[in-house]
Amino acid sequence: MRLLLIEDDQDVVRPLTLALKAANFVVDATADGEQGCFLALTTNYDLIILDYNLPKMNGKEIIKKIRADGKNTPILITTIRSEVGDKVDLLNLGADDYLVKPYVLSELLARIKALLRRPTVLTERLLKVGDLELDPDRFTVLKNGRYLTLAGKEFTLLEYLMENPGRVLSRQEIMEHVWDENADPFSNTIEVHIMKLRQKIEDDGEHLIQTISSRGYKINGKK
């Protein structure tokens, strides 16, 4: 899953980014409120971690613009403001959760996972395509009841494919959702990870992941 971190305190950004990546999230980070707002409006994120006090545009203004644009991306606000009135104001504007600084990193991660378990439409988190099952919360993949061992990026790529069964996903869509903004769009990293996934999830003669010439990839089957 891809997260956007809008935070100008580099002492917070560095450890938080490392912790999020260790938890298998893809993270884009910016310290600029205007740039953060632009990214939030033009890129599909699964969740936004938003500091309140930012240069050029504060958290309240960013929330207003995101919600006015019709985006329902979960937003977790972090701030030194602890007054009840501030919390109520931000929640009423469209924030989904609120955490006062300084916070414990484990609590932030728990809140992120809780928000990600709260879909817009209530659906089962367990993803199934044929005899393949993926549990995003437990970081497990089963094929015919047998556990498979996947690397972090392999898991994230498979999760994205299984969230869109039967749909052709372009290289650009995959790159934007599974890799961060520093990834080289002209590299063969997608092809390499697709090849490794096929080796791990497909039995002899099986073609779960299909390459669509000049268009992208799709995973066959239904949820």
Q: How would you write the pLDDT of the chain (223 residues) with one tens digit per residue?
A: 899 999 999 888 999 999 999 988 999 999 999 999 999 999 989 999 999 989 999 998 999 999 888 888 999 999 887 677 777 888 888 899 989 888 899 999 999 999 988 755 444 568 999 889 998 877 889 998 899 999 989 999 999 999 999 999 999 999 988 987 777 877 899 999 999 999 999 988 788 999 998 899 999 865 4
Q: What is the pTM for the complete model shown?
A: 0.61
Residue with tokens 């980070």: 29
CB within 8 A of 47, min separation 6: which ones?
Answer: 1, 3, 4, 73, 74, 75, 76, 112, 115, 116
**Domain annotation covers residue 121:** no
**Where are the extended beta strands (E) located within 89-156?**
97-100, 127-129, 132-135, 140-143, 146-148
pLDDT of residue 222: 57
Whether residue 147 sits in one domain with residue 84 = no
Choose the final residue of a domain: 89, 116, 143: 116
Distance CA(165)–CA(39), nearest Å, equals: 27
Three-class DSSP category at 193: helix
Choose the final residue of a domain: 69, 96, 116: 116
Q: What is the CATH number of the domain that holds 148?
A: 1.10.10.10
Whether residue 47 sits in one domain with residue 108 = yes
Residue 64: give the domain boundaries.
Answer: 2-116
Among candidate residues 15, 20, 17, 13, the one with its CA nearest the CA of residue 51: 13
How many domains does one find in the chain?
A: 2
Exposed e or buried b per residue across 2-40, where buried means at least 16 C-beta atoms within 10 angstroms of its C-beta: bbbbbbbeeebbeebbeebeeeebbbbbbbebeebbebb
